[in-house]
């Protein structure tokens, strides 16, 4: 029968001594441990650092003080020592008291996290150093039972790993399916059957994009003079579009403007909500950071968006976009473009998806400028080329896309729920197999 005993972690782990300055000649010849990922894999780097260092010897147990409870624990298997910053700690261990694999599972267990929360101020949010870890009192079984627990856990993890691999495969499938649906939409393949019963009617904007384009140009020219954009050559067209469609540049069918920095604006005029930090996720906004600002009436139009406008990141994640769907107007900062499609109610949705495809494929990069940090300037934004379907077909495309993408969303939700279930299985398995009693 197995016997359990209460021990301190310091009874079977011993910290390796030594702390060195980054330029210490004694460690100059050694490479540096860059990180330990959550699977326990060590990554080595030649990158310099200004942080004090420790030495890790072959066979040492290495622990990340920041991510120990997430699995950043491993044994260094190299042939010669490596350096690591003092955010890591290195230990020799007594293999007669603890099975190393058991201990690696143990530090990822709810039991270990609970012990930290009871004994260490700040719990797992604190960087775990040897002074926190070594005095920690735990209860462990004898060595034979430790090895048996490891065998059981490994067997279960092998099965859950197969489930996880299948979930990741389904996740990739859903992502590719979304891209394929969008690509077929912008190439006109999604509405091919619809066009068979709705042929081109020349001169009718509902069924002829040339007529729609001419209508847009007349309306825009009557409002104010527009700058001419370069014509789209045949070499620039990435794919063929159906009869009745037209290649256009964004600046030919929309009005766009860059947000305005509101610092220093006098407190006069009307109250408007102001979007301070734009945290864009695909197809949605995080609206948790709204401030009340006072801006002048004559500045309201150039730095605000109303329902149906498209907001596009200029920097940070250039090209990421979302539609503003609230009933009230929003003001936004200089790092955001507003695009407004007058008379084209379905274009914000279609262009939003088009930008998604450009970003996912990396083709948005052809419109970005700047060294290092890239930006989507207003000039480049206007030059983005896109296929323009006639009005009736735009509506049909949106209806079909809403239906197909809803199915993809449901598949992704199901994959997420499966992932949570697998994580819960692992959590319960570790919690049941490993036991710890705080001192």
SS (H, E, C) 216-227: HHHHHHHHCCCC
How far apart, in whole angstroms, are the C-alpha atoms of residue 330 and residue 277? 12
Domain count, the chain: 2
State whether 132 and 205 are in the same domain.
no
- Beta pairing class for 4-8 and 137-141: antiparallel
One digit per residue, the tens of pLDDT, for the chain of length 439 reads 457 888 888 999 999 988 999 899 999 889 898 888 776 788 888 788 889 999 999 988 888 888 776 667 788 888 899 999 999 999 998 888 888 888 877 777 767 777 776 766 655 556 778 888 888 888 888 888 888 888 877 777 777 777 777 777 888 888 888 889 989 999 999 999 999 999 999 999 999 999 999 999 888 876 666 678 889 999 999 899 999 999 999 999 999 888 765 544 444 444 445 444 444 333 334 433 444 444 455 555 556 788 888 888 888 788 888 888 877 777 776 778 889 998 899 999 899 888 888 887 888 889 999 887 889 999 999 999 999 999 999 999 999 998 888 888 888 888 777 777 766 666 666 556 554 433 3
How far apart, in whole angstroms, are the C-alpha atoms of residue 204 and residue 320? 33
* Res 212: pLDDT: 95
State whether 110 and 224 are in the same domain.
no
State whether 224 and 109 are in the same domain.
no
Residue 244 is assigned to a structural domain of this protein: yes
Residue 429 is assigned to a structural domain of this protein: no
**Range of 361's domain?**
201-389
Question: What is each CA distance from 43 to 46, 84, 341, in whole angstroms?
Answer: 11, 11, 49
Dig out the tokens for 225 from the structure.
């003079």
State whether 210 and 131 are in the same domain.
no
* Res 411: pLDDT: 81
Q: What φ, ψ does residue 304 adopt, rounded to 5°?
A: -140, 160
Residue 413 is assigned to a structural domain of this protein: no
Q: What φ, ψ does residue 352 adopt, rounded to 5°?
A: -60, -45
* Res 124: pLDDT: 52
* Res 429: pLDDT: 60
State whether 219 and 356 are in the same domain.
yes
- The 10 Å Cβ neighbour count of residue 235 is 5
| Residue where a domain terminates, one of 141, 156, 178 | 141
Residue 341 is assigned to a structural domain of this protein: yes
**Taking Cα atoms as reference points, which of 43, 20, 19 lies closest to residue 32?**
43
* Res 184: pLDDT: 93
Q: What is the DSSP letter of 210?
A: H
Task: Report DSSP letters for 163-189, one per residue.
Answer: HHHHHHHHHHHHHHHHHHHHHHHHTT-
State whether 366 and 238 are in the same domain.
yes
Residue 396 is assigned to a structural domain of this protein: no
How far apart, in whole angstroms, are the C-alpha atoms of residue 118 and residue 292? 42
How far apart, in whole angstroms, are the C-alpha atoms of residue 212 and residue 238? 22
State whether 123 and 241 are in the same domain.
no
State whether 381 and 273 are in the same domain.
yes
pTM across the whole model: 0.59
State whether 222 and 342 are in the same domain.
yes
Residue 92 is assigned to a structural domain of this protein: yes
Residue 170 is assigned to a structural domain of this protein: no
- The partner residues of 295 in beta bridges, in order of sequence, read 270
Residue 172 is assigned to a structural domain of this protein: no
| Residue where a domain terminates, one of 125, 141, 157 | 141
State whether 135 and 209 are in the same domain.
no
CATH number for the domain that contains residue 319: 3.90.220.20
* Res 267: pLDDT: 40
Task: Report DSSP letters for 85-96, one per residue.
Answer: ETTEEEEEE-TT
Angle between helices 110-119 and 391-433 (to 10 degrees): 80
State whether 116 and 15 are in the same domain.
yes
State whether 237 and 106 are in the same domain.
no
Task: Report DSSP letters for 106-143, one per residue.
Answer: HTTSHHHHHHHHHHSTTGGGS---HHHHTT-EEEEE-H
């Amino acid at each position: 029968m197995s016997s359990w005993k209460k021990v301190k972690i310091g009874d079977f782990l011993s910290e390796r001594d030594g702390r060195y300055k980054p330029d210490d000649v004694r460690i100059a010849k050694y490479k540096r441990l860059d990180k330990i990922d959550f699977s326990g894999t060590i990554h080595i780097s030649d990158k310099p650092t200004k942080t004090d260092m420790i030495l890790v010897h072959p066979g040492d147990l290495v622990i990340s003080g920041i991510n120990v409870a997430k699995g950043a624990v491993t044994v260094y298997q190299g042939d010669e020592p490596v350096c690591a910053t003092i955010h890591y700690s290195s230990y020799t261990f007594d293999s007669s008291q603890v099975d190393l694999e058991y201990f690696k599972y143990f530090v990822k267990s709810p039991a270990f996290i609970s012990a930290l929360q009871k004994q260490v101020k700040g719990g797992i949010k604190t960087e775990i150093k040897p002074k926190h870890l070594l005095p920690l009192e735990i209860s462990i079984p004898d060595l034979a039972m430790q090895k048996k627990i490891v065998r059981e856990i490994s067997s279960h993890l092998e099965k859950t790993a197969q489930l996880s691999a299948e979930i990741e495969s389904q996740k990739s499938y859903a992502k590719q399916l979304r891209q394929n649906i969008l690509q077929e939409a912008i190439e006109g393949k999604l509405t091919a059957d619809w066009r068979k019963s709705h042929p081109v009617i020349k001169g009718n904007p509902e069924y002829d994009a040339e007529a729609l384009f001419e209508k847009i140009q007349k309306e825009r020219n009557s409002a104010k003079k527009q700058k001419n954009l370069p014509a789209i050559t045949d070499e620039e067209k990435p794919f063929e579009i159906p009869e009745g469609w037209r290649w256009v540049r964004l600046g030919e069918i929309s009005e766009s403007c860059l947000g305005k920095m509101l610092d220093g604006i006098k407190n006069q005029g009307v109250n408007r909500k102001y979007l301070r930090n734009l945290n864009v996720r695909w197809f949605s906004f995080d609206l948790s950071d709204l401030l009340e600002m006072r801006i002048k009436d004559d500045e309201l139009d150039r730095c605000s968006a109303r329902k149906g406008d498209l907001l596009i990141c200029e920097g940070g994640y250039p090209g990421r976009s979302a539609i503003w769907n609230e009933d009230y107007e929003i003001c936004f900062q200089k790092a955001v473009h507003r695009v407004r499609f007058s008379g084209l109610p379905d274009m914000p949705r279609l262009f939003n998806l088009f930008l998604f495809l450009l970003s996912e494929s990396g083709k948005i990069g052809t419109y970005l400028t700047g060294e290092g940090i890239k930006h989507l300037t207003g000039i480049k934004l206007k030059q983005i080329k896109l296929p323009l379907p006639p009005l009736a077909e735009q509506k049909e495309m949106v209806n079909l896309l809403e239906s197909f993408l809803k199915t993809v969303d449901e598949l992704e939700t199901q994959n997420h729920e499966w992932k949570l279930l697998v994580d819960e299985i692992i959590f319960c398995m570790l919690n049941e197999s490993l036991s710890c009693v705080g001192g």
